[in-house]
Amino acid sequence: MKKKITDLIKKKNKKKIVSLTAYSKNIASILDNYCDIVLVGDSLGSVLYNYKSTREVSLSMMIEHSKSVRMGIKKALMVVDMPHNTYRNSKEALKNAKKIMLKTKCDAVKLEGGKKIYETVKTLVKNKIPVMGHLGLLPQSDKTFKFKGKKKLERQNIIKDSQLLEKAGVFSVVLECVETSLAKLLTQNLKVPTIGIGASKYCDGQILVFDDLIGLNPMNYRFVKKYANIRNEISKAVSNYSKEVRKIKFPNKNNSY
């Protein structure tokens, strides 16, 4: 059965929400069996294109990958990141969000920020475009990779931003690299679910980049647990293939017409 945003909100304080990223149909079709949310993240910039930051990801790039992911999803909620410089004001955001929704048939869009995007989120929600928020570490604007919530002022600002996003109408908020006690406080105080990435077990759900989870990305991050080492498996398969080709063992009669 296709999940709805109301189903997600009902999980608040009751059942943990499972989320992962996907950038293609084949992967999405697997995640669809286990995830409440599949996010087409602008993390595809670094994961697939080796960009230095997500700021280089374009709207057309997000749309094309989202169209592929859409074909693999039947049950999960599909959320699409709005890339950098596509929601600088409410008018621009509405135009681009409508384009994303129309072309990808996604269920919602995700925007980074708090106070700066308050009016933008209100506009999108007013126009019946569901919005997921994103606080803490903001890859589209932060220049350094640091966890958030250690300093008092920083904590206060994140708390205020979370309240503003909820008031504006978001149905959930991603908390990225947020200090544990702050993540717990936000989760307790917000009526909408929090989805953590490097933000402790106290969030209402968790999200990871799929390539990190399966060990395809050789980098190690503190907030990632590698549940498989697909990089090694791929290496073995390619090694075996190359040996069989050179020894003329592949293709054999079963692989030929």
Whole-angstrom distance, CA of residue 119 vs CA of residue 132: 14
Q: Which amino acid does the sequence have at 78?
A: M
Whole-angstrom distance, CA of residue 194 vs CA of residue 172: 6
Please answer whether residues 225 and 209 qualify as being in contact, where contact means their C-beta atoms are separated by less than 8 angstroms. no
- The active-site residue, picked from 56, 119, 154, 176, is 176
Sign of the Cα torsion 236, 226, 138, 143 reads negative
Whole-angstrom distance, CA of residue 33 vs CA of residue 244: 35
Residue 193, sorted as left (phi over 0), alpha (psi -120 to 50) or beta, turns out to be beta
Active site residue 176: yes
Whole-angstrom distance, CA of residue 113 vs CA of residue 103: 25
The angle formed by the CA atoms of residues 42, 146 and 148, to the nearest 5 degrees, is: 95
Question: Which distant-in-sequence residues (6+ apart) come within 8 Å of 225 by Cβ?
Answer: 208, 213
Q: What is the largest CA-CA distance in the chain?
A: 70
Whole-angstrom distance, CA of residue 165 vs CA of residue 253: 62
Q: Which of 191, 201, 203, 127 is nearest to 165 (CA)?
A: 191
Whole-angstrom distance, CA of residue 116 vs CA of residue 161: 9
Tokens of 223: 């907030």
Residues labelled catalytic: 176
